[in-house]
Amino acid sequence: MPELPEVETTRRGIAPHLEGRKVTRLIVRDSRLRWPIPEDLAIQIEDQTFSQIRRRAKYLLMDIGGGSLISHLGMSGNLRLVPIGSPVGKHEHVDIELDSGMALRYTDPRRFGAMLWIKAGEMHPLLSRLGPEPLSELFDGERLYQCSRGKSMAVKPFIMDNAVVVGVGNIYATEALFAAGIDPRREAGRISRARYQILAEEIKRILAYAIERGGTTLRDFLGGDGQPGYFQQELFVYGRGGQPCKVCGTELSECRLGQRSSVFCRRCQR
């Protein structure tokens, strides 16, 4: 599933091609995504100009006309720019044609993504309960410490809770906990303020670096320019269960937390 760095990479890839461009036509080949594409979407965006392409958590917010187009890439979706009239594949559900001669194409084999609409000034329910952005000043170790008090859940699913902080998905939670030396199985409420400060700093560092490197190439993800990310080559623990730790050489362990696989080093993490 594309995580925050992949979505931010997509935003940076498509924004220069969309901002200031007018939509000439919307083509919906299959509206059956996680939620149906609104029937009146063409009325909302055709002959309108994109003003800004933003991101909130893993959602892309494309401001146009009297509102915003909300896009979520789901488990396997991607957005990329193609010339208008390019051959269409089986899972290429939406084209937003632009006055530049290019089209923003949405591809989603599993159809778990979304393309929704909100009017200007409205707050969509999907966005209303989200915590702070991890790279913002609103997120730090003190927030993790305060939110964790009394929590008996493991620390990994705790930092993956979008009400605590958005966008820390499975890959980057695994990597940040390793970098901070924290066992992902530890109770969130039993971790000290000092260790949460280290964890918050590692979350920020790893996410920022992953964005710089273009995200993580996993299965179907492609950036907005059609190019894969390169952070996967530098993963320390995610997806490496049974392999030697890159730091100490100990065989990496694997467990399930919150129905997700989690890899960690019993020696480096405590």
Q: How many residues does the chain have?
A: 270
Question: Could you confirm whether 58 is annotated as catalytic?
Answer: yes
Separation CA 48–CA 206 (nearest Å): 37
Separation CA 251–CA 245 (nearest Å): 6
**Phi and psi torsions of 104, nearest 5°:** -85, 115
* Bridge partners of residue 117, in order along the sequence: 69
- Sort strands 114-119 and 67-72 into parallel, antiparallel or unpaired: antiparallel
Q: Smallest Cα–Cα separation from 117: which of 79, 70, 72? A: 70
Question: Could you confirm whether 2 is annotated as catalytic?
Answer: yes
- Per DSSP, the three-state class of 208 is helix
Identity of the amino acid at 57: A
Catalytic residue of the set 22, 185, 246, 260: 260
Question: Could you confirm whether 260 is annotated as catalytic?
Answer: yes
Determine whether the annotation assigns residue 93 to a binding site. Answer: no
Catalytic residue of the set 11, 58, 105, 156: 58
Quick one: how far is CA 239 from the chain centroid?
18
Q: Which two tokens stand for residue 97?
A: 């044609």
Determine whether the annotation assigns residue 29 to a binding site. Answer: no
Determine whether the annotation assigns residue 91 to a binding site. Answer: yes
Catalytic residue of the set 3, 8, 97, 202: 3
- Per DSSP, the three-state class of 99 is coil
Look up residue 21 and give its DSSP letter: P
Question: Could you confirm whether 22 is annotated as catalytic?
Answer: no
- Per DSSP, the three-state class of 17 is helix
Binding residues: 91, 110, 151
Binding residues for DNA: 91, 110, 151
Which residues are catalytically annotated? 2-3, 58, 260
